[in-house]
Amino acid sequence: QVSVGVMTSGGDSPGMNSAIRAVVRETLRRNYRCYLIREGYAGLISGKIDEANWSSVANITHIGGSFIGTSRCDEFRTYDGRKKAAKQMYERQMFNLVVIGGDGSLTGAQKLKEDWMKIGEELFAEGNIKLDVANKGRELRLVGIVGSIDNDCIETDKSIGSDSALHRICESIDGLVMTAQSHQRIFVIEVMGRHCGYLALTSGIAVEADFVFYPEMSLEENWADKLCQQLETVRKLGKRHNIIIIGEGCKNAKGEKFDAKLVKSEIENRMTAEVRTVSLGHLQRGGTPTFLDRLLGLRMGYNAVKELLRVDKDGKPFTGSQNNASVICLRGHTIKQQSLDKVLRKVEQANDEIKHGNVEK
């Protein structure tokens, strides 16, 4: 009996539930077994794993977050932690795994894959009676789905959750604009995104922000003068308020944290204006998923199962160029598979470039 496990890990994002739903329903539709792994890698290690049925995933696409729970788990970073996790999988004959999470979670999945055969040999050598010898040497098939509001995975044009987060950011800033106009105030607003400026930049365009600070930019020495000139120019054109957006991962030239409070004080040193700071915080991650995130989750979940259970012309599990570990990505409007290895290499390269300020503007 083929079994597929599905889990969410790392930061939650709206639309993950749609992906879980599609994985479960497509697996069951093919008459295979599906397991819900609860609370991320922590639940995989401790065996918080339940068999899913058709109604386990009813009425969930409209709910944000992950209904099976997610977590950050340091134990999984160790070989022993991954061995405990693999043992739970071997005992259930669960050799197909869908991991929905950010680049950290996908890196964890890759480590499990790297250790899988060695762990298997050790488990059989230890003589665990729950293991079926027929499964000795069985490979792990792995598919990753990028669920992250940050949209920071270079190989997919969209990750699940970023559209909902942007929707929430725009809605919140629209609300701030109304009060800002009445009092002619300047609002400096911090948005999420970690080291990636996608949320800051794209929301900035959508809400007609006057200035956006994003982590990939290199700050000029005279940034504060330039900012205030820009604010004064638009005020002269009749604008009664200003919106400045700042991505959470912004740093100054010395690599020090650069936040809304600092921007506020620099403006106040140069202009007579009322400045307020707002951090949108976890509101950006919560709430109802947008249509796009629901659809993306469903498409990615369905394609994850299709990829996991792909067979060759003789009906045997397909072992192609992907090394049995791939990521479901969106390119334009099309779903594509990429090898997990390649995706993680590119993410690492991109992160390095950001760290060393080597990004094309």
User: Taking the complex as a whole, how short is the minimal distance between the CB of residue 49 and ligand ADP, in angstroms?
Assistant: 16
- The amino acid occupying position 360 is E
**Per the residue annotation, which of 150, 152, 163, 293 is the catalytic one?**
150
Closer Cβ to ligand ADP, 39 or 190, answer by number = 39
Residue 262: its H or E element:
helix 260-270
Closer Cβ to ligand ADP, 40 or 204, answer by number = 40
Closer Cβ to ligand ADP, 78 or 184, answer by number = 78
Instruction: Choose among 342, 356, 357, 293: nearest CA to 66.
Output: 293
Question: What's the number of CA atoms in the CB half-sphere (13 Å) around residue 231?
Answer: 29
User: Taking the complex as a whole, how short is the minimal distance between the CB of residue 38 and ligand ADP, in angstroms?
Assistant: 14
Residue 37: its H or E element:
strand 33-37
Provide the binding-site residues for ligand ADP, judged by CB under 6 A.
9-11, 41, 72-73, 76-77, 101-105, 107-108, 111, 148
User: Taking the complex as a whole, how short is the minimal distance between the CB of residue 151 and ligand ADP, in angstroms?
Assistant: 12
**Helix H segments across 34-154?**
40-46, 79-91, 103-125
27: tokens are: 């697996």
Residue nearest to ligand ADP (CB): 104
DSSP label at residue 150: T
Sheet bearing 211-213, strands edge to edge: 211-213, 242-247, 186-191, 275-279
User: Taking the complex as a whole, how short is the minimal distance between the CB of residue 238 and ligand ADP, in angstroms?
Assistant: 43
- Non-local (6+) Cβ contacts of 205 within 8 A are none
Decide if 150 is catalytic: yes
User: Taking the complex as a whole, how short is the minimal distance between the CB of residue 163 and ligand ADP, in angstroms?
Assistant: 17
Sheet bearing 33-37, strands edge to edge: 49-51, 33-37, 3-9, 96-101, 141-146, 325-331, 334-339
151: tokens are: 């949209």
Closer Cβ to ligand ADP, 112 or 244, answer by number = 112
Closer Cβ to ligand ADP, 25 or 194, answer by number = 194
Active site residues per annotation: 150
